[in-house]
Structure 1
Amino acid sequence: MLSIGDFAGLGRVSVRMLRHYDAIGLLRPAHVDSHSGYRFYTAEQLLRLNRILALKDLGFSLQQVQVLIEEKLDPGELRGMLRLRRAELATQVERDSARLALVDARLRMIETEGHMNTGDIVLKQVPAVRVAELSATALGYDHPTSITENLSPLYPRLMELMEQAGIAMTGSPIAYYRPAPTGPEDETITVHAAFPIGDAEVGEAGFDVVTLPPIEAATAVHEGAMAEAFRTGGRIAAWIEDNGFRPVPPGYAREVYLHCPPGCFDEWLTEMQVPLDNTGTATGEN
């Protein structure tokens, strides 16, 4: 028999927690001394304690844990539930890391307020480009995490569809954004992932083909992760204002991914193109 203190130490829980488990009938001690009231446990009860803790870590309430324990989940079922929870936590860590990077970038931008260098902005005539594209909806232009989550998966899917159709890309990948076709108070946007395809003939291939119009744009090359793209966007906005131009509302940039080694976001080179006030709209072929 193990005292409650020894059992708590082996199970890596508090004595107070074991008393609570006893009170609600989740984990009763193997023996309670009738004179002193001291609780004692067996080593075998560590197995039940470990299952309780595993189910708690999956997010179940103690009442739900009790039901699941009584149903006697087999080890395979419990392993499957833990693996699912692990995948959920890994996704959450990835999202939190992206948010942390964005916060750091915002802090750096605040620290450089009043010292914005706009010397690397270029006024450029961008010719029309015919592209294959897929699209999705994101929460808004000011939600970079949502943009990344919805835009990024489109590129490998588009590449797969183009390979199946025998269509080759003829230039760097492009992203552009439009307000979603919903109510006026809805800030959601449509994100477009595109590959230039020149004059290739395209049948029914599972993707759209559009011609992005020629634009006059204020452009700059953004170096690093797109989580910090707003810093380059801020430089372009300052240049536009200083030089008496006006962006095409709502001022979304077109992005051309010049160099994007997988996983090496600090090495990315992206040309950001903010259309000025003499642009048109994309025309669709299907």
Structure 2
Amino acid sequence: MASHQADAKALLDDRGYSGALIRGQNPALLFEKAVRDRITESYYWKEQCFGLNAATLCDRAAELTFVGGTYGGLGKPTPFLCLAFKLLQLVPEKEIILAYLNWPGDEEEGMEGDEDEDESRAPGVKGEFKYLRALAAFYIRLAWEPPEIYKTLEPLLADYRKLKRRMRDGFTLTYVDQFVDDLLTKDRVCATSLWKMPSRTLLEDLDLLDPRESPLGDEVEQLDEDEDEDMENGREKDEREESGEIEESGGSRSPIED
């Protein structure tokens, strides 16, 4: 345990830190000091995060049952937040984080009921472990560069699976796409202040991003085509009525009336 405490101190000590940097600084500083202190003093950090590496952390994250930051009157950190902090300590290769994001899982995963089976087939879903995916997305928002963040997280907006979220005084229901949207648009998520990203529009203007294609693009295009066709048919009908090719309703009488 002493080595684990020393390891945590090295992460938190700017003067003695010699590990990988994120945007030129100690990754631990991406969390506020009060949150860092609560994490490193928590039971989960001391007992469940001890000695984790990129592989064993994946196993631990697959056991998560909710996302969240801190909860309760004392601001106790969630396992989700502790594992996110551990990721900042490890700074895994991007290929590893992408593997977390789309972890395939076993065939039995997500097959416990009809609802889970339907969710596992949702658009944009590649990995079975949705809380592992949420953890990877949270880390990406903290650690990667803006163009990579948009390119990697935006496809997850098509993942509509349910997520359980721990709030300060209880639980609430959210969804993967909503959680990802919060990461892309909000300043604070899971008790963590997110660094301000440049807007997508600015990155497009700088040719760092291609314009985003909506997943509904084909459907919207088809609706536009149908609307144009209806308008064209309406104009043709009006022209025929004006030329007398189509008589007004009631314009002709039955021979019986004569």
**TM-score bracket, shorter-length normalisation:** under 0.3
TM-score, length of structure 2 as denominator length: 0.24
TM-score, length of structure 1 as denominator length: 0.23
The higher radius of gyration belongs to: 1
Structure with the larger strand share: 1
Structure with the larger helix share: 2
